[in-house]
Amino acid sequence: MPSRQRETTVSMPLTPSRSDLYWRRIFEKYDKDKDGRISYVELKEIINSVEYQHDLPDNVVDKIMALADRDNSGYLDFNEFVAMMQNPDLKAVFGHFVARYVHSIIPHRGPVDTTAHSTSIFTYSDGTYEEEYSCWPPAICMILISLVEIVLFCYDAAHGHTQGDGTIAKLFIYNPHKRQEAWRFITYMLVHVGVVHLLVNLLVQLFLGVPLEMVHRWWRVVLVYLAGVAAGSLATSLTDPKVYLAGASGGVYALIAAHIATIIMNWSEMEFAIIQLLVFVLLAAVDIGTAVYDRYWRHLDQNIGYVAHLAGAVAGLLVGIGVLRNLEKRKWEKRLWWAAVLIYCSLMAAGILANIFWTERFQKSH
């Protein structure tokens, strides 16, 4: 062993702690022949098997192979195994195990547990995202966007216009007769028709967008949001070329779909992933379904752009998979990432080209 190599010692108490028992269970699980040792070859075979793919990420094999056992035996005994798992330099590698241990001692429901010997404050987390959740830098981008929307709405409201017909609204709304003013494909998100329309969008932006921003950082969330806004206007311009478009529904649905993308890309690292997925899919389906029903079955002219909702959701899902932080990458997720990027870029390019060159589509609508 080179003299520079840092040695890591593990103190083994006479009475096993809960941490020791946890690592012992993990160790015994991977000790297939029950000889009290784990060989590198054996561990590599386990990692490459389907049965254990959710317990150890693929890149663990490389890290283990690079970490020579201290006695050059070709095996890891329990002490070496624990030292490796608790080594600060390998925290990123074994963060999945650490998170599972945290969840094994932190109950999902419970108050502060105070005993004569110790005081423990129970917290709740969402998979390994508890380590990524941060309030610094502060998540203010979605808040700033919301404030701009409020200020502009209040300006028009102060002049007696709340239905998207004020001075500011006319400047920013998507007007199908002014498609050459390209900024309208984005700025329509700042215009809202009525107080309820504004409040609904603000609620989703703040209560879903801000937490996503805390985890994924501001630029990723803003990119997803704007991608949904742009996709919503492009899709609406092609499917409903006579329709004016106002509101941030495209961006809002992009955020909802982005959270679904987060669930998909971090399925095994998140708690209650299937429940979260079903809840958000159900909410979106009910909202869009109601808009479609009111328009085509009840024949209500409410100017609800359900196409912008759908396009924003698709954009949020595709861009969310592409840019949101994935805590633990696997091979299939990398392929999904490339597929999402390719599909989104192709759809956006097709929408832009159609708006530029498919002139007869818009001439017929006038």
Tokens 């329509």 belong to residue: 188
Contact 245, 311 (CB under 8 A): no
Structure-derived torsion over alpha carbons of residues 294, 245, 254, 341, reported in degrees to the nearest 10 = 120
> What is the set of active-site residues?
249, 309
CB neighbour burial string for 1-18, b if at least 16 within 10 angstroms, e if fewer: eeeeeeebebeeeeeeee
Q: Quick check: 248 and 189 in contact, CB under 8 A?
A: yes
Q: In Å, what is the CA distance from 236 to each residue of 254, 305, 307, 312, 360?
A: 15, 7, 6, 10, 16
Residue 28, C-beta contacts closer than 8 angstroms, at least 6 positions apart? 34
3 state DSSP class of 151: helix
Spatial neighbors of 84 by CB under 8 A, at least 6 apart, are 8, 64, 67, 76, 90, 94
Contacts of 275 (CB under 8 A, 6+ apart): none
Kindly report the backbone phi and psi dihedral angles of residue 194, in degrees, each rounded to the nearest multiple of 5, phi listed first.
95, 160
- Integer-rounded Cα radius of gyration of the chain: 26
Could you tell me the two tokens for 259?
């959270």
Classified as helix, coil or strand, 174 is strand
| CA-CA-CA-CA dihedral for 149, 151, 157, 159, to nearest 10 | -130
